A and B are shown apart, each in its own frame.
Chain A
């Protein structure tokens, strides 16, 4: 790379994961709806995470954000932007970002907003954070991806739609655990997946979900950034892609020339399902949990509608002391407890008891 990119003045100072405790196995979903094994075996997902009845995308974001603060070791009032990316906002109108910011002690002198772009709103928040920090408008910004993903009972989406959150604190390159060397975004209008206003469950446009959406956007974004920067797949220690299931990220990675050894450490969906806005970014959090100074990381989130970002990060010396300052992704993975479909309907409020207003 010859000219300095603005993003290279910024890096990740803190990262934080959150995964709820409960797990619903694929076999249990198949048992209830009569799906044959071939319907879900190919997804390469064992079970999916399910939130407790007292959780939502806001509470999960608070815990992920708290973990990011523990690692960043910055005064919360120094954070001047909070971006909350989600497609499962508790309120259609009333920002979750202000609740998260208030709970974490970031308020009142801060930007705060909720972003929507299917599964890549959290990543858009990350790009916006990089812009705000690299321009000198602020020293630190927080980007969050959090979802309690909806799926209509009996729809194939129900196998993978799960819950989780991830948060990053972006700041100057000095002191960062990983520095952004380059970023790229590629979007088009694509009808692969949507949820209309006031509707509880999303729809997917059959024929659009794979090649024209996921593969086209991720491959375009990754290839173009590799071309711009001159990096080749073998330069990277880790490669993380959006994970709607356990099979697409492996397929897209291999098509781009990456190996299983590079892809596997950031692959979280096989254990917890698709956490939507947290998906690829939770993979990044897991990779940072174990990364060594000098490692080069490629991350490519994707959102339906559709678009993909690619980030190239170089891990610094600061990563090692930060890794142990907060629970790691694998700590949340380890507190798993399986539930059956009946409890799932209660925890997810598919079994409704609240008075309808």
Chain B
């Protein structure tokens, strides 16, 4: 997978800070911000800081991970609902067996990609179970 450094750089701030876009025409919010509203097509958008906590609506576990991302396997992709705004993002610090829909999750900044030990490291938002809620606190089984 080729990654464009200029494209990643232009998008870094929304991805570091979970900044979405609100449509001035229909009022709907989306993330990550696009050049036009995915609901009505309007180009009239403004930045909006999203809350960091949301609910896990659905998720998918990718066990067979190709290439340079395999060290992160299994990769868990979640559909997170933050006050009605749906975000597709990786989940982190959680094992597949600990997941359930309805889990409260919070945004953190993690490494998104690292293609070699000489290239640029890209960072962005992922979600993890909120501290103290379902992330194994007090229920350590001694295995991972």
Contact = CB atoms under 8 A, between A and B. Distances in A.
B71 A349 contact: yes
A103 B17 contact: yes
B108 interface: yes
B92 interface: yes
A354 interface: yes
A105 interface: yes
B136 A63 contact: no
Interface of A is mostly: loop
Contacts, number: 91
Interface residues of A, number: 37
Interface string A315-337: 00000000000010001101111
A334 B132 contact: yes
B5 interface: no
Contacts of A343: 144
Interface stretch (B22-30, B34-42, B78-86, B111-119): B111-119
Given A59-B111, A354-B117, A336 B140 contact: yes
A52 B109 CA distance: 12
Nearest to A56: B111
B116 A357 contact: yes
The winner among A90, A103, A349 for most chain B CB atoms within 10 A is: A103
Interface residues of B, number: 35
Contact of A354 (B112, B114, B143): B114
Interface of B: 12-13, 16-17, 68, 70-72, 90, 92-93, 108-112, 114-119, 121, 123, 126, 131-132, 135-138, 140, 142-144
The 5 closest A-B pairs by CB, nearest first: A357-B118, A103-B16, A54-B110, A357-B116, A334-B137
Interface of A: 20-22, 52-56, 58-59, 62-63, 90-91, 99, 102-103, 105, 327, 331-332, 334-340, 343, 346, 349, 351, 353-357
18 contacts: A22-B144, A53-B71, A53-B72, A54-B126, A56-B111, A99-B123, A332-B131, A336-B136, A336-B140, A337-B140, A338-B144, A349-B71, A353-B71, A354-B115, A354-B116, A355-B116, A356-B117, A357-B116
